[in-house]
Structure 1
Amino acid sequence: MSWDDAFWVGLRETPAMSRTRAALPIVEDDATLRSLLEAAEVPPLLAAVAYATGDRSILRNEFVPDPNAILDPNGGLSPQAQAEARDLAAAALGRYRDAGCPPPATPSHDDLRPLLEFVVGGSAEDDYLPLFEEELGIAGEDLRAPGWRKEELAPDRPFRVVVIGAGMSGLLAAHRLGQAGIPYVVLEKDEDVGGTWLENSYPGCRVDVSNHFYSYSFAQRDDWPQHFSTRDVLLDYFRRCADEFGVRDHIRFRTEVTRATWDEDRQVWVLQVRGPEGEETLEANAIVSAVGQLNRPSFPDIPGRDTFAGPSFHSARWDHGVDLAGKRVAVIGTGASAVQFVPPIADEAAEVLVFQRTPPWLLPTPDYHDDVSEEQMWLFRHVPGYASWYRFWLFWRNCEGLLPLVTVDPDWEPKDESVSAGNEMVRQMLLGYLQAEFGDHPELLEAVTPHYPPAAKRVIRDNGIWARTLTRDDVSLITEAITEITPAGVRTADGVEHAVDVIIYGTGFQASKFLTPMEVVGRGGVELHEHWKGDARAYLGITVPGYPNLFCLYGPNTNIVINGSIIYFSECEVRYVLDALRLLLEGGYGSLDPKPEVHDAYNERIDAGNLTRAWGVSTVNSWYRNETGRSAQNWPFSLLEYWQQTRRVNPDDYVLR
């Protein structure tokens, strides 16, 4: 295959995807309408009805959500207050129905402010309002689109971008590049789009962020079948996005970048790639790395791992050719993936032995496997703006309000199990859940109880299935340390050899090894991984000094623990990348390279910030830290701050040539 002009096929403006669609008319009678509203969460319901009908009188002070009840979907309102609020909403929607369901007027900034302030539980700071309006997107506008096109800034300048990876972030970057009219190609090592949602096909795989939030802000669905979708549903979503964004023709599948070298004289990246037709070379003015953090499986360093005589595999590379029926199966690990796949394989295998190093905290989520009810689906489709306000309500509840609960109180002692009064409150709540789930099994309860602060490791959503699985007669939880893998099974520190037929590793990913295994050679011939020396850092998690025009998505310190969705971060990052490209094109520059002093000061602040959070001070083993012990993954501050820092590139932060 030739990397000539014909390769960069399909260049066109990416079609705009509608964020919202017109609400279906309300035809139900008063009694039916009122019954349907029982499924609504009150704060977004009242805001949506006020928006749709123009009746602000229903936004009464007694219905304002309690900011301290951030975990309550109804904002801490009493059952009586909820019923009264739904009565008022039903009456207003009845009048709206009788008036013929007129489309709501496009709200102004001043119109939206009281509605937004109502939902967030009081007066909103001015800094937050622009972010809130973007997240709400009530008018259906894509407020994060580039807003410019290359043909306007530099019509005669050749400029090409390579995007590495066609997962969630890569598709987003491609979409924005298409909107800006910049020629690009996406190189994807797999045979289809989807990234982690393509590669992880283990039984029970699903997202742990509500889908109304874990989806592009500008490409919403009102027909998610479940609140937390399965892998297959998510993969279908990203496949549909690839098609509707018009980016699939730009993707070269089964093509992997092995090396990228910066040519200082010509101000271009020279990439060595391996594809179906062998080794090839191409050049690009900029690279967007969208390879993610959770794409390379991590196997434990256990002696004898290669000696096991039976089938063994990692959950991220599930071997569907292995029949587990009637088998004795060992599962190593009790992290997020294992908690999802152990229950379904327990229904199939004869016996499952679960080897646990550190128990996870479980977050009670009763609707984790539930379908979206018909009543909720009706709300999304018939009440104008309810889907947007519901998504915004999820955003707010999963946004800044939870950060104080993981913030370290320097005077709090001891810090080994909690880091503050708020964190201890969360610990007691989660302990209560474990006691309710495992109370009839005291030995098991002791084994599954964590002894580290909540949020120091990833918290796992649970609807009771973990306890139901571990208390089965054919499932055993083993907490003795593994000393070796033998041809017959797993030997533990107590000398017992546990004979098994199959071993499944649920041991996570090489999250801190960013951009591996490709080599990236920057200015002066310095290879990026040698530069990092196992401790990856980047300015805003996006750019690295000495590697001009290289942009990372989901890079160092852009993982979130309790506040937000990774898609939110990707949208912020991609907007920043597009603004950097605008700066290059508009100014006629060949390269943009972050100043070392800016990069270093930023990372010093990130490190200090992480030490104020539970995950930064706890010594528990976690993928949140790299091999040096530093938190190279997590963002320690508010979502607002990252949004503010990535809205626009500050030219003073960079050397432009």
Structure 2
Amino acid sequence: MRLDMTPEPLADDDATIRAHLEGLPVVALLTTVAHATGDLSLLREDLRPDLTKMLAPDDGYDATQLETARRLAADALARHRDAGSPPPPPLSEDQLRAMVLWANGGQGDADMVLLLEEELCLDGADLRAPTWTVDDLAPDRQVTVAVIGAGMSGIVAAHRLRQAGVGVTIIEKNTDVGGTWLENAYPGCRVDIQNHWYSYSFAQSSHWPQLHSTQPVLLDYFRTCVDQLGLRDIIRFDTEVLEARWDDDDAAWTLSLQTPDGTSTERFDAVVSAVGQLNQPLMPDIDGIDTFAGPWFHSARWDHDVDLAGKDVAVIGTGASAVQFIPHVAEVAAEVTVYQRTPPWLMPVPNYCDDVTTNEAWILRHLPTYAQWDRLRLFTRTQEGLLPLAEVDPGWESDGSSVSALNDMMRQVLTAYYEASFPDAELRDKLLPRYPPTAKRVVLDNGIYPRTLARDDVTLETTTIDAVTPGGVRTADGVEHSHDVIIYGTGFQASKFLTPMRVIGTGGADLHERWGGDARAYVGITVPEFPNLFLMYGPNTNIVINGSIIY
């Protein structure tokens, strides 16, 4: 399955073609043009990416390299136009591997190259499709699997199982698909990974309106995938799993289900948990939360019936979600007070909320495989490029604000952004983190968050909260702050995997008791004493840096 990637023929003159290549990343540009024209000589050694520089402007290429790359690409595209814009010639296996290896900076063994080819999914070659079928493993048996959750993970799990001929039922507590992209509908909600990567390898698109799409666009993408994959008919909506219990004698799982009509049970041979990690709101441990007389809600359960216009609004928390919605709240509220416990590191991304540029839209129209080659660039850039910045140097001496020389360099770069963005020294001192970059999730910012906090009608409060009162918030210094509305941007119960359902394994083993608050699983997927239970997005597979889930 691929979403529409039909190209338009090239008809522009040489100068127009050259102009449209400005600003396009070299790796994605050259691999796309080499693929379209069959001219692999474009992938020159002197233009091969250096993964250690991929986080620098222009992916570390200097002005001479940029000019050379764009000239080579423009000349090749002019020849391609003159030839009538023929479809890309088929790549041999050796050619594809050479291109992938070049895009990865010449690094990578056979396994790494195969991983990158799988991500690329060129010409619809779904290399991650199962190579086995259920008939190979159990030819005389009907195998049934329950997938819990119809979000991003549940959709792909069900799709892969169906490709193998397994009988699948998706159980979804909500009334629609999308998971976290259905539930998180707060103002400003958008993805912080570029969409050409934040999408299924087998369902890539060249029609993203922005590089970092908003929640409605992402939700529509997942709905489209479900419909085109034919999964909607196997989803039981508005059904919550209360308990999963393993039967030792029957070697099967019994699920206790809650629907609007009551409770029921159903048996399955295996269970795939795709309930997500960032879906259960975390409310802070603050006295008096329930005593507040006005409207209050968590950002993950945004109450769109509450009119914030002209109101005095308190926002408690400054995590990734809060940084996104605070500017939108400030646009309509009369006053906003932001209560901050720990400030986030902000990563400057000037085009974070911008539409796809004219040049990006042009190349995606004429060479839609640019979306796939740019996906490969983003993948290699993130999976390798960020990791050295987070690695701890045991011999590194610091005041706790960095963990290595590279990490300290990153801290200095980000600190410079704070100094440029927050000219008010007192405000900047409150906002500058004291912990190392990458120790917590780094938040992308295009400058709107600093501008919001500098507004006269926005106050940053860093005094510890003592309690929530009927009229607002009381801080530890005894000051009572009056508010009309309180919004909690305090994140999720990320460490409480598979909650709130109960999971009972062999011999009556209770999964949450076994974990004791410290969830762990073999390669993040399976847990001893819980046979035929498989975890998507499991423990220790999703850290705050790097493409960790692939390992």
Taking structure 1 as the reference length, the TM-score comes to 0.82
What amino acid is the match of 1:191?
T
Q: Which runs of 5+ in 1 are unaligned?
A: 1-16, 570-638, 643-657
CA distance in 2, matches of 1:523, 1:122: 48
Q: Structure 2 matches for 1:614-629, cutoff 5 A?
A: none
Which residue number corresponds to residue 177 of structure 1? Answer: 161
Paired position in structure 1 for 2:506 = 523
Question: Which segment is superposed worse, 105-114 or 157-166?
Answer: 105-114
Per-residue displacement from partner, 1:230-258 (whole Å, max 9, x unpaired)? 00000001111111111110011110011
AA partner of residue 317 (structure 2) = G
**Distance in 2 between residues matched to 1:395 and 1:415, nearest whole Å:** 33
2:60 to 71, 76, 85: 76
What is the identity, as a one-letter code, of the residue corresponding to 2:386? L
| Residue 73 of structure 1, CA deviation | 5.8
Partner of 1:460: 443
3-state SS, counterpart of residue 44 of structure 1: helix
Count of matched residue positions in the alignment of Structure 1 and Structure 2: 551
| Corresponding position: 1:218 with 2:194 | no
Alignment of 1:434 with 2:418, yes or no, is yes
Indicate whether 1:351 and 2:324 are aligned.
no
Q: CA offsets per residue over residues 31-73 of structure 1, 9 Å max, x none?
A: 1111111142112111221222122332223322233211136
Specify the SS of the correspondent of 1:435. Answer: helix
Residue 550 of structure 1: aligned partner: 533
Structure 1 residue 413: Cα displacement: 1.2
Q: 1:251 aligns with which of 225, 235, 257?
A: 235
Distance in 2 (CA, whole Å) between partners of 1:260 and 1:125 is 41
After TM superposition, the structure 1 = structure 2 runs for residues 558-637 of structure 1, keeping only pairs within 5 Å, are 558-564=541-547, 569=549
Q: Which residue of 1 aligns with 2:10?
A: 26
Superposition deviation, residue 276 in structure 1: 2.3
**Shift in alpha-carbon separation, 1:126–1:160, aligned structure 2, 3 A:** closer
Supply the AA of the counterpart residue of 1:83: E
State whether residues 465 and 475 of structure 2, in contact with CA within 8 Å, keep that contact through their aligned partners in structure 1: yes
- Matches of 2:267 and 2:57, distance apart in 1: 51
2:392 aligned with 1:404: no
1:233 matched to 2:192? no
Matches within 5 A, 1:55-454: 55-72=39-56, 74-383=58-367, 385-414=369-398, 416-439=400-423, 441-454=424-437
Q: Which residue in the other structure is 1:621 paired with? A: none
1:540 is matched with: 523
SS at match of 1:371: coil
Which residue does 1:496 correspond to in 2? 479
For 1:456 and 1:328, locate their aligned partners in 2 and report how far apart those are by CA, in whole Å.
33
Is the CA contact 2:55–2:385 (under 8 Å) kept in the aligned structure 1?
A: no
Give the distance between the partners of 2:376 and 2:399, measured in 1 at CA.
34
Structure 2 gaps of 5+ residues are: none
Residues 333 and 505 in structure 1, CA contact (< 8 A), matched pair in contact too: yes
Whether the aligned pair in 1 keeps the contact of 2:134 and 2:143 (CA below 8 Å) is no
Deviation, 1:218, is 0.7
User: CA separation of 1:128/1:19 partners in 2, compared to 1, >3 Å: closer, same or farther?
Assistant: farther
Answer yes or no: is the 8 Å Cα contact 2:5–2:369 preserved in 1: no
Per-residue CA deviations over 1:376-431 (Å, capped at 9, x if unaligned) read 11212312632211110011111122111111111111251000000000000000
Q: Is the 8 A contact 2:5 2:368 kept in 1?
A: no
Change (3 A) 1:529 1:41: same
Percent of aligned pairs with the same amino acid: 60
How far residue 130 of structure 1 moved from its aligned partner, in angstroms, is: 1.0
Secondary structure at the aligned position of 2:450 is classed as helix
* Residue in structure 1 matching 2:488, options 483, 505, 508: 505
Give the conservation status (yes or no) of the 8 Å contact 2:2–2:205. no
Match of 2:458 in 1: 475
CA shift for structure 1 position 563: 1.3
Task: Give the letter aligned to residue 244 of structure 2.
Answer: A
Q: Secondary structure at the match of 1:92?
A: helix
State the Cα distance separating 1:564 from its structure 2 match: 2.4
Q: Distance in 2 between matches of 1:310 and 1:278?
A: 33
SS of the aligned residue for 1:74 comes to: helix
Would the aligned equivalents of 1:406 and 1:455 in 2 still touch at CA under 8 Å? Answer: yes
Residues 338 and 458, structure 2, Cα contact 8 Å, conserved in 1: yes
Distance in structure 2 (CA, Å) of the matches to 1:40 and 1:336: 28
Structure 1 segments of 4+ aligned residues over 6 angstroms from their partners: none
Q: Which amino acid aligns with 1:520?
A: V
Letter of the structure 2 residue corresponding to residue 199 of structure 1: E
Residue-by-residue CA offset, 1:495-533 (whole Å, 9 max, x unaligned): 111000111000011111111111111111121111111
Structure 2 counterpart of 1:492, one-letter code: T
Structure 1 contact 49–384 (Cα < 8 Å) conserved = no
- The superposition leaves residues 602-622 of structure 1 with CA deviations (integer Å, 9 ceiling, x where unpaired) of xxxxxxxxxxxxxxxxxxxxx
Residue 205 of structure 1 and its aligned partner are, at CA, apart by 0.5
Query: Are the structure 2 counterparts of residues 355 and 127 from structure 1 closer, same or farther at C-alpha, using a change threshold of 3 Å?
Result: same
| 2:426 alignment partner AA | E
Residue 152 (structure 1) shift:
4.8
Whether the 8 Å CA contact 1:543–1:552 is kept in 2: the answer is: yes
Deviation per residue, 1:132-160 (Å, 9 max, x gap): 21112223211101133324543430211
One-letter identity of the residue aligned with 1:134: E
* CA separation of 1:146 and 1:127: change in aligned 2, threshold 3 A: closer
CA distance in 1, matches of 2:394, 2:74: 49
- Please tell me the residue identity of whatever aligns with 2:145: V
Aligned-partner residue type, residue 447 of structure 2: G
Distance, in Å, in 1 between the alignment partners of 2:35 and 2:443 is 36
Q: 1:39 and 1:20, CA in 2 relative to 1: closer, same or farther beyond 3 A?
A: farther
- Displacement of 1:101 after TM fit? 1.8
Structure-2-length-normalised TM-score = 0.97
Report if aligned partners of 2:37, 2:89 keep a CA contact under 8 Å in 1.
no
Distance 1:253 1:73, change over 3 A: farther
Contact 1:19 1:218 in 2 (8 A): no
Q: Please state whether the residue corresponding to 2:297 is helix, strand or coil.
A: strand
* Matched residue SS, 1:274: strand
Paired residue type of 1:233: V
RMSD: 1.5
**How far apart are the structure 1 equivalents of 2:97 and 2:162?**
33
State the distance in 1 between where 2:208 and 2:4 align: 14
Structure 2 CA distance for aligned equivalents of residues 75 and 318 of structure 1: 38
